[in-house]
Amino acid sequence: MANTTQTLRQLTAADVLASLGSLRAKQPVKYAAFYSSQLGGIVTDPSLMVIPFDDHMVHRGHGIFDTAGLVDGKIYDLEAHLDRFHRSAEHSRLAMPMPRAALREVIIATVAASGQRHGAIRYWLSSGPGSLELSPAAGAEPGFFVMVFPGLSYPERWYTDGLKVMTTTYPIKPSLYAVTKSTNYLPNVLMQMEAKASGVDNGVFIDANGHVGESSNMNVAFVTSDGVLRHPRFDHILQGCTSLRALDLARRLQHDGLLRGVEVCDIPVAEARAAREMLLLGSSVKVAPIVAWDGQPIGDGTPGPVSKALLALLEEDMRTGDRLIPVMY
Ligand SMILES: Cc1ncc(COP(=O)(O)O)c(C=O)c1O
């Protein structure tokens, strides 16, 4: 409990450091390393991984982020994630604090400092501190932050038995905001909370035209009854780096006869519900089968072969493909 007004006191810098330390003792986290352009370097003590309360990203949500995977000491597909980071920055009118090559070096150095070989790297760009106004403070310097952490994990049953999803009651973000990976994730958070409260694993956004959108922090795709892998167009949803890569890798399944084609197109809900398979795609989940949507089975209600084959292709690409950046620890 917080102190009562009678006992509130003014804190010294040492008091603040002690409080930050005891907060983390009560709530341990596995953040291995954090870079902050505002602090001017890397810290490994989670109690020091902080950002000023008046940073525009904190009090107005004027910030962007992205997350790349760390696999066996190598960073996977970082260039695709940096492409999206730059696009999100442009849409958000955020200036980059350093050139792309320097961002990449900072990310790699933070991973090296973490000593971690598996997990995730999340990085943010903020428009900086300096006021509580709606527009960024005059002269505010953009902040760049990098966190190395274990990554999000999901139950094994998602892969063995498949997941259940529901159509969310929350409206999809307007296109400009959906294609921008900003720190405004309220609809995504509410959708996932709604799904969990309803006893299913996640939600799906549908757009105003009745086309399938995406899930909370993942994309969705379908295999039609005649064997075509269909993915929603990326003009009204986030362009998933996993989806982009998986759509490319999926062409190999055409040679194996598992797929007849790969298409990125508008997908009306009725068509989607008649699919043979429904897939969830994202950097954290990779590829997982969805077996039920709004209480109705997808296909025969069991995980299908395309989701399994695509997961294997993606995992192979993450281990041995040509999109890996080695970290010099
Ligand atoms: C809203 C949303 N859609 C889709 C994705 C999937 O993107 P990626 O494959 O790059 O993880 C994410 C994750 O970043 C997301 O937050």
User: Hey, whose CA ends up nearest to atom 16 of ligand 1?
Assistant: 217
What CA–CA distance (Å, rounded) separates 2 from 8? 9
Integer Cα distance of 119 and 33 in angstroms = 12
Ligand 1 center to 53 CA (angstroms): 27
Which helix (H) or strand (E) segment is 315 a member of?
helix 305-320
Q: Are 221 and 281 in contact (CB under 8 A)?
A: yes
Q: How far is the CA of 21 from the centre of ligand 1 (A)?
A: 32
Q: Supply the residue whose CA is at minimum distance from atom 2 of ligand 1.
A: 217
Q: Hey, what are 111's tokens?
A: 């991973």
Cβ-proximal residues to 71 (8 Å cutoff; 6+ apart), any chain: 118, 318, 319, 324
Structure tokens at 295: 């209480």
* Ligand 1 atom nearest to 284, measured from its CA: 11
- Of the residues 64, 207, 215, 217, which should be mutated to test ligand 1's pocket, given the most ligand atoms within 8 Å of the CB? 217
What local confidence, expressed as pLDDT, does residue 3 receive? 55
Ligand 1 site, CB within 6 A: 67, 188, 214, 217-219, 238, 240-243, 282-283
- Which among 228, 245, 249, 304 is positioned nearest to 78, based on CA atoms? 245
Neighbours of 320 (CB within 10 A): 11
Q: Which residues of the chain have pLDDT under 50?
A: none
Cα(218) to centroid of ligand 1, in Å? 5
Q: Whose CA is nearest to atom 12 of ligand 1?
A: 217
Q: What's the full length of the chain, in residues?
A: 329
**Residue 174 CA, ligand 1 centroid: distance in Å:** 16
Supply 26's token pair. Answer: 């009560």
Q: Ligand 1 centre from 4 Cα, in Å? A: 43
In this structure, what token pair is assigned to residue 197?
């409260």
The set of residues, in sequence order, having a beta carbon less than 8 Å from that of 182 and lying 6+ positions away, is: 61, 62, 63, 64, 65, 88, 91, 92
Give per-residue pLDDT as tens, 202-238. 999 999 999 999 999 999 999 999 999 999 999 999 9
What is the residue-wise DSSP string for 58-118?
HHS--EEEEEEEEETTEEESHHHHHHHHHHHHHHTT---SS-HHHHHHHHHHHHHHHT-SS
The candidate with the shortest Cα–Cα distance to 270, out of 324, 209, 326, 181, is 209
Residue 5: what pLDDT? 59
**CA 315 vs CA 127, 309, 318: distances in Å:** 36, 10, 5
State which of 283, 317, 318 you would mutate to test the pocket of ligand 1, scoring each by most atoms of that ligand within 8 A of its C-beta: 283
Instruction: Give residue 28's pLDDT.
Output: 87
- What pLDDT shows up at residue 4? 58
Sign of CA dihedral 241, 243, 248, 249: positive
236 contacts: CB under 8 Å, gap ≥ 6: 172, 175, 178, 179, 207, 211, 213
DSSP-derived pairing of the beta strands 286-293 and 163-167? parallel
The closest-lying atom of ligand 1 relative to the alpha carbon of residue 181 is: 16
For residue 237, what are the contacts with CB-CB under 8 A and spacing of at least 6?
Answer: 172, 178, 179, 205, 213, 214, 219
- pLDDT for res 187: 98
Q: What integer pLDDT is reported at residue 12 of this predicted model?
A: 98
| Cα 143 to ligand 1 centroid, rounded to whole Å | 22
pTM of the predicted model as reported, rounded to 2 decimal places: 0.96
- CA neighbor of 267 nearest in space, from 311, 201, 310, 205: 205
CA distances from 68 to 107, 109, 156, 176 (A): 10, 14, 21, 22
HEC profile for 243-290? HHHHHHHCHHHHHCCCCCEEEECCCEHHHHHCCCEEEEEECCCEEEEE
Name the residue with the closest Cα to ligand 1, atom 7. 240
Q: Pick the catalytic residue from 74, 164, 173, 181.
A: 181
Predicted local confidence at residue 118, as pLDDT: 97
Task: Decide the pairing of beta strands 219-223 and 202-204.
Answer: unpaired
26 catalytic per annotation: no
